[in-house]
Amino acid sequence: MPLHKDEGIVLFKRAYGESDKIVRLFTLGSGKVAAIAKGANKSQKRFMNTLEPFNHISLEYFEKYGKGMVRIENAHVIETNEGIETSLKKACMAGFFTEFVDKLTKDREKHSSLFYILKEILTRVRYADFTYSDVLFYELSMLQALGFEPNFHTCVYCGKSMNEEDRTCFSSERGGTLCHRCSRFIAHKRYEGGVIERLASMRDGDVISREPPSSYSSCGGDNGGGGIFERDARDLLEGFVSYHLDIEFKSYRILKSVMR
């Protein structure tokens, strides 16, 4: 049985039996993997503080432990989750994005760009207070990496380029903007005040090489009209995600309550 080497982010852990631990990892090489760490719940030394949620770890594992799981042989922390557990808001933020990855990926589906986005989020969330713009930015980045992003640039019905038009009409069902002509006969919601333009500009460009939003380093810096944008952008994205992905995020409800 060959020994595999990889790195991964711990999404979830639980005790199993008297002495073992089961974890779900989002690995760079193989995507989401369920793993068992024998003796991890007993031996303080072997996996001490390693298999904890939000940790970025290196690991060696054997395939085919059974029940679709691999068996972790060795694991070491590359980057710890230290700092995340100190604040409810940070823990909720990290919990939301790990749940996002957990729910929207399938086992053994490799997504290296998504891995790096999650890693970046978990690093930044330790040091900075995310604003709602940061949450939107990363949420859109993750949707883009998964190929689920909303279309903000062309009319989703007739294909007309929307760059010249006021982008105010958004169809959750069709997954993007509508031109004025098509909006007369296709169900949509209206978003005034440049909400769609702002979301589109947030999302443009290459996900990984992009700079984070400017509000990243400031604490709660997205004021000055951010309230209405936040409300509308949240409404648009929630409508889109819940229509297309049919997933309820427990952690999102909690996150919203702590971001108020």
Contacts of 92 (CB under 8 A, 6+ apart): 251, 254, 255, 258
Order across the sheet with 176-178: list the strands: 176-178, 169-171, 189-190
**SS3 letters across 49-109:** CCCCCCCEEEEEEEEEEECCEEEEEEEEEEECCCCCCCCHHHHHHHHHHHHHHHHHCCECC
Pick the piece of the chain touching Zn ion (CB under 5 A) from 36-44, 66-74, 119-127, 154-162.
Answer: 154-162
Smallest distance, Å, CB 190 to Zn ion?
A: 15
Which is nearer to Zn ion, 158 or 247 (by Cβ)? 158
One-letter amino acid for residue 245 of the chain: L
242: left (phi over 0), alpha (psi -120 to 50) or beta: alpha
Told to check if 28 binds Zn ion by CB under 5 A, we report: no
Q: Count of residues binding Zn ion (CB under 5 A)? A: 6
> Residue 107 or residue 166: which is nearer to Zn ion going by CB?
166
Comparison of 126 and 174: residue with beta carbon closer to Zn ion:
174
Q: Which amino acid is at 97?
A: F
Minimal distance in Å, beta carbon 240 to Zn ion? Answer: 18
- Choose one: 52-60, 61-69, 82-90, 158-166; the region binding Zn ion (CB under 5 A): 158-166
- Residue list 182-221, contact with Zn ion (CB under 5 A): 182
Is residue 169 at the binding interface for Zn ion, with CB under 5 A as the rule?
A: no
**Is residue 179 a contact point for Zn ion (CB under 5 A)?**
yes
Determine the interface stretch with Zn ion among 30-38, 157-165, 204-212, 226-234 (rule: CB under 5 A).
Answer: 157-165
Which 54-93 residues touch Zn ion, going by CB under 5 A? none
124/153 with CB nearer Zn ion: 153
Q: Which of 3, 158, 187, 228 binds Zn ion (CB under 5 A)?
A: 158
CA–CA separation, 239 and 33 (whole Å): 30
Q: Which stretch binds Zn ion (CB under 5 A): 37-45, 105-113, 179-187, 199-207?
A: 179-187
- Judge whether 144 and 110 are in contact, CB under 8 Å: no
Stretch that binds Zn ion, among 16-24, 46-54, 129-137, 178-186 (CB under 5 A): 178-186
E strand residue ranges, 131-259: 169-171, 176-178, 189-190
- In this structure, are residues 236 and 195 in contact, taking their beta carbons and an 8 Å threshold? yes
Positions that interact with Zn ion (CB under 5 A) = 155, 157-158, 160, 179, 182
